[in-house]
């Protein structure tokens, strides 16, 4: 029986420790192809490169693994992987990460890691993004491996719904073992930004974004609750951002013309 074809990408760059751990686990499960950015792309969200050329070069970052490094964003990497690198071969799964830092709650919107997974979902491919709630470059990923393998094997066996990408986050490693996996919803939380005004050596103002994370969601079914209680959080995400519940409300309550004329003709006097 042929091994599943697994495409691996990330946003921290092809040399980041997190992607090495992810590739290590994926090699146990299937045939691995890596297409990842040639430099860090954190916080790029779902950006794509449209105003300049893209570079794609063979990489020797992994032993006995086909790997490519791309000058573009994580979403670019998935597009190039599907349409150029793999050509007529369809991946059985796309995985992204392991990210250095949490992508829970609202962070999913800014995440380059999840943009790779969501781009795969847009392309009709099952996908999972993995992140660790540890920002240090020397972060310990070892406690994530068994859970990643379990989640990936289940995804390959049972499938992921079309148009859905899984957002998986791991608590930082501590002396306490992880309690298990929770499938949950995205917490209603946000970053409360502040902008520190500073002066550069040329006496010009510049701003450095700071702030804190504010979680106003008290539910015990959220990703933030799971992570705070030492569980792995799994949130199914979709790229269709339609607020379906608002459609009927607006149709019933808003006083709008049934047909909007963008360029009505003006009658001559």
* Sequence ranges of the binding site for a divalent metal cation: 11-12, 42, 99
Compute φ and ψ for 201, nearest 5 degrees. Answer: -60, -15
Whole-angstrom Cα distance, residue 212 to residue 14?
29
- Ordered DSSP codes for the chain: -PPPEEEEE-SS-TT-HHHHHHHHHHTTTSEEEEEEESS--TT-TT----SS---EEE--SSTTSEEEEESS-HHHHHHHIIIIISTTPPPSEEEEEEEES---GGGGGT-HHHHHHHHHHHTT--EEEEEES---TT---GGGHHHHHHHHHHHHHH---TTEEEEEEEPPP-SSPP--EEE-BPPSEEEEEEEEEEE-TTS-EEEEEEEEEEE----SSBHHHHHHTT-EEEEEEES----HHHHHHHHHHS---SS--SSPPPPP-
End-to-end CA separation in angstroms for the chain: 79
Q: Which residue ranges make up the annotated binding site?
A: 11-12, 42, 99
């Amino acid at each position: 029986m042929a091994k599943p074809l697994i495409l691996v990408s990330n946003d921290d760059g092809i040399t980041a420790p997190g992607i090495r751990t992810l590739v290590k686990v994926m090699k146990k499960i299937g045939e691995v192809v890596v297409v990842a950015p040639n430099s860090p792309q954190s916080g790029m969200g779902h950006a794509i490169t449209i105003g300049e050329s893209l570079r794609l070069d063979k990489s020797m970052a992994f032993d006995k693994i086909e790997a490519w490094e791309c000058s573009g964003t994580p979403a670019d990497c998935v597009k190039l992987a599907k349409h150029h690198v793999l050509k007529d071969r369809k991946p059985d799964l796309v995985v992204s990460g392991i990210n250095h830092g949490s992508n829970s709650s609202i962070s999913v919107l800014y995440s380059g890691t999840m943009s790779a997974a969501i781009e795969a979902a847009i392309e009709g491919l099952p996908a999972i993004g993995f992140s660790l709630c540890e920002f240090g470059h020397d972060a310990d990923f070892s406690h994530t491996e068994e859970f990643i393998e379990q989640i990936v094997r289940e995804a390959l066996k049972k499938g992921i719904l079309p148009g859905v990408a899984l957002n998986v986050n791991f608590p930082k490693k501590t002396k306490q073992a992880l309690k298990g996996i929770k499938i949950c919803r995205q917490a209603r939380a946000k970053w409360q930004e502040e902008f520190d005004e500073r002066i550069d050596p040329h006496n010009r103002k510049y701003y450095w974004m700071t702030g804190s994370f504010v979680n106003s969601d008290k539910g015990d079914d959220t990703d933030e609750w799971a992570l705070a209680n030492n569980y792995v959080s799994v949130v199914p995400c979709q790229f269709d951002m339609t607020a379906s519940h608002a459609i009927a409300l607006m149709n019933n309550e808003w006083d709008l013309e049934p047909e909007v004329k963008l360029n009505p003709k003006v009658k001559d006097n």
